[in-house]
Amino acid sequence: MEIDFKVTGKTKVMGIIGNPIEHSFSPMLHNSISKHLGIDTVYIPFKVEKNHLESAVHGLKALNVVGFNVTVPYKKDVMKFIDDNTKEALLMGAVNTVKNIEGRFYGYNTDAEGFSRSFKEETGTGFKEKKIFIIGSGGAARAITVKMAFEGAKKIYIVNRTASKAAELAEIINNNIDSVAESFGFDDKKAIKSFEASDIVVNTTSVGMHPEVDSSPIEENYQFSKGQIVYDVVYNPSKTKFMSDAEKTGCKTVNGLGMLFYQGINAYEIWTGIKLSEQFLKELFVDFKSVLENR
């Protein structure tokens, strides 16, 4: 038989913790990058039960892992067990990437950077001086709005079914970054006008995700405006009803696959200190997209 030398005593370990974890694409992405670069690392998924989260984090430190990702439902709770969290991660209220630096764990949020990088790559523009309409006020919305505020958004409108949650997120932005956020409930007439007047519209909710493909996060009284950029963090299906409706009005649409991809890339670069080339990333994204769409 052939002897397998892929993992040895010198192999460094990365991984991801969450529950469930079986669906994660991260091992495929990170192990492919390491193989391409010839780096002796292995990336492993770890399913962690809720009452074992603290033990799992301490165990990963004891094992001296290079770093690890954190996925649902632990992005917020894990922060209690990390030695230091970045300012952005603290404002976003979530950590999805942890790096081991000389035995101390440092927490980052690469979801926001993944969104920003994907948005700029696929639209050719950024958020500076833009009026932006955010649908939802959960974890993804918080990360995205904090990032947009830091990058100079002119105005950020936040709408949510529960208006008080939208108000809480707007307050975080206004009190810690810049007074650019305004919040609404869905039935507020100002929300509908702000939606139509925005340069960018972002759905941060899971509405429209498979299998609920006929659902949209907005009501019929919300009308897209021609020329808007419409971003949906959902990537399955690749074109949601929300995106299809926007395209009929002449909007440019982008799904969340790039965000998923680039948050992983940012994590890998944090762990290794390696800046991956643009050409390699373009080729990898094409292959990555093909695999996910054919799963």
Q: What are phi and psi of 67, to 5 degrees?
A: 175, 175
| Coil/strand/helix, residue 283 | helix
| Active-site residue set | 75
12 secondary structure, DSSP code = E
Q: Are 166 and 185 in contact (CB under 8 A)?
A: yes
CB burial readout 221-237, b (16+ within 10 A) else e? ebebeeebbbbbbbbbb
Q: Measured between alpha carbons, how far is 142 from 266 in angstroms, rounded to an integer?
A: 19
Q: Are 231 and 119 in contact (CB under 8 A)?
A: yes
List Cα–Cα distances, 252 to 115, 126, 147, in angstroms: 16, 14, 21
Within a 10 A sphere around the Cβ of 132, how many other Cβ atoms?
25
- CA 75, 80, 82, 83 dihedral sign is positive
Identify which of 218, 294, 231, 287 has the alpha carbon closest to the alpha carbon of residue 259: 231
Ramachandran area for residue 51 (φ above 0: left; ψ -120 to 50: alpha; else beta): alpha
CA dihedral of residues 201, 207, 210, 213 (deg, nearest 10): -80
CA dihedral of residues 123, 153, 255, 119 (deg, nearest 10): 40
